[in-house]
A and B are shown apart, each in its own frame.
Chain A
């Protein structure tokens, strides 16, 4: 709506001011028109929030009480409650940034309570000078921000099962979240300690109840890894590694060590439990893939998806979802409504960032026919998200980790939505 011309608005203000001044002194003048013409019944129909003061300020805001169903879904070990995962409700979210309280969790033995004043980071091993840092000092270093996803190597692993799991999108694929991480380039501190030429690997260790230790190539830490202190603008949440964690953009979640206490430079990987017994992928010939650090391109339709329903037809529905790749930018997401027979390009919502969530959208005209909705991502290296059949042909069915196949939602003629394995 166009605003009133300036003159008219000034006149309106002058009149109102005059009116108010006059009512104060001369009660003989008529009361303002709105007070006379709005009857009690009309005011009563205004929303309650308009007829009374609202609640007071809060020191830290919480979601609306009407959104209490938007939660991480916890799946923990019955005998060890701090061992397990909690899933991001991707199907309930929009945009690309995961709220801090909904970032997925994978803890091996709970969330430690760390006093930042007591926490130390030690950089040692093949360095010229072992160095320790306290959090106060780290906060004085130059910082960088990086928006990227972190995905657990075990995300979507129900896909390896013979029968498609009937779980909401986020509760089957939500061991991935996307945040703006702020911290110190790891490279800076490694250089301060002085890297010896023999150094090739780094063993990171966390200060949690699992003292999680794992090796990673020095090359990656010198490239784009961050020592993150902040997540989406605020200091890390305890469950996301407070006060300090590693962020290795595009690489398997397990390497993004939380509650980081040590980086030891070595010439060889340690072969710890979490790089041998776990996070390796057994193939059909009995050999296992090891050091599969990269998270390959993947996409998922978050709406419509299982747990929702299509209320009417013919109608237009907004198909929306997320795509991401550990190797760089998403360049294309295609959507199919017929189980992969024909594909249409979805619109990619900018900004498209490397190794970060990219939101895609496509309006879909549904006439009430049986349909299978799928999305397929392509990244800037030309890698195309595989079908489940291709993935299983390549990897067998016992890989457990790194499942990135196309996800299929079956739409019945009644508008119900089921998870199927596609054609």
Chain B
């Protein structure tokens, strides 16, 4: 190496070294994925305004039949009092001595009910229900506490319009009050 190139080498390696301290030096290896991002398998999450809901419909009476076969074994025939979480009843119990957090008493949005049943239930066969079956199950659960009427058709348009009884029951701790309880001796 000539004197000049030696010096250059030194300067370059030094600059790589010092810049890598703040910004790591790496080769970006992500593959463009615009198409993937549009496909249904990568759009499972349903937002509160209904974005992501599949086309379909169902009413409570249809849901009742599916519930008895697919869900009652773990959640109980009335959706409460069995091995898995309670789903129905106990609306208005949250401030009482014995509060019960059911879908109908506690969940703030109907969108998450569809989102969750489709991806996770029945727990022994996730993603086994059709969109119509999930709408029907949601209708059955919501109707059991009068949140929607018996003939109300749940579909991708109507589901996000349902107002859950505990819609305003949550206080966001993050970011403003992240850590309220401070104790001092």
Contacts and interface: CB of A to CB of B under 8 A. Distances in A.
Interface string A354-371: 000000000000000000
Interface in B1-29: 24-29
B123 A288 contact: no
Tell me which of B45, B46, B181, B182 has the highest count of chain A C-beta atoms within 10 A of its own C-beta.
B45
A141 B112 contact: no
Contact of B94 (A188, A282, A289, A292): A282
Contacts of A296: 179, 181
A386 B30 contact: no
Interface string A81-123: 0010000000000000000000000001100000000001011
Contacts of B95: 284-286
Nearest to B32: A129
Interface stretch (A23-31, A154-162, A262-270): A262-270
A141 B170 contact: no
B73 interface: yes
A276 interface: yes
Interface stretch (B53-61, B114-122, B131-139, B148-156): B114-122
B178 A294 contact: yes
A287 B42 contact: no
Contact of A79 (B26, B83, B127): B83
Interface in B97-117: 99, 101, 103, 106-109, 111-113, 115-116
A277 B48 CA distance: 14
Nearest to B175: A217
The contact size tier of chain A is 35 or more
B112 A217 contact: no
A131 B44 contact: no
Interface string A399-422: 000000000000000000000000
Nearest to B102: A277
B34 interface: yes
Interface stretch (A163-171, A204-212, A237-245): A204-212
Contact of A210 (B46, B101, B119): B119
Nearest to A120: B36
A122 B34 CA distance: 10
Contacts of B120: 108-109, 209-211, 273
A276 B45 contact: no
A293 to B, nearest CB: 6
B74 interface: yes
A211 B181 CA distance: 33
Decide if the interface of chain B is mainly helix, strand, loop or mixed.
loop
A115 to B, nearest CB: 17
Contacts of A211: 44, 119-120, 126-127
Contacts of A284: 95
Contact of A398 (B74, B99, B124): B99
Of A108, A122, A387, A394, chain B has the most CB atoms within 10 Å of the CB of A122
Given A109-B120, A213-B119, A282-B94, A289 B47 contact: no
Interface string B30-46: 11111011000010111
A282 B93 CA distance: 11
Given A268-B47, A293-B174, A122 B33 contact: yes
Interface stretch (A46-54, A60-68, A132-140, A221-229): A132-140
Contact of A277 (B31, B37, B101, B119): B101
Interface of B: 24-34, 36-37, 42, 44-48, 73-74, 83-84, 94-95, 99, 101, 103, 106-109, 111-113, 115-116, 119-120, 123-124, 126-127, 169-175, 178-185
Given A132-B36, A284-B95, A290-B172, 15 more contacts: A133-B31, A138-B29, A141-B26, A205-B45, A211-B44, A211-B119, A270-B47, A276-B109, A282-B101, A286-B169, A288-B94, A292-B178, A293-B174, A386-B181, A387-B183
15 contacts: A79-B123, A120-B36, A122-B42, A130-B32, A209-B120, A219-B175, A272-B116, A277-B103, A277-B112, A280-B170, A284-B95, A285-B95, A290-B170, A327-B179, A384-B185
6 A-B pairs closest in CB distance? A286-B95, A131-B30, A291-B174, A137-B29, A286-B94, A132-B33
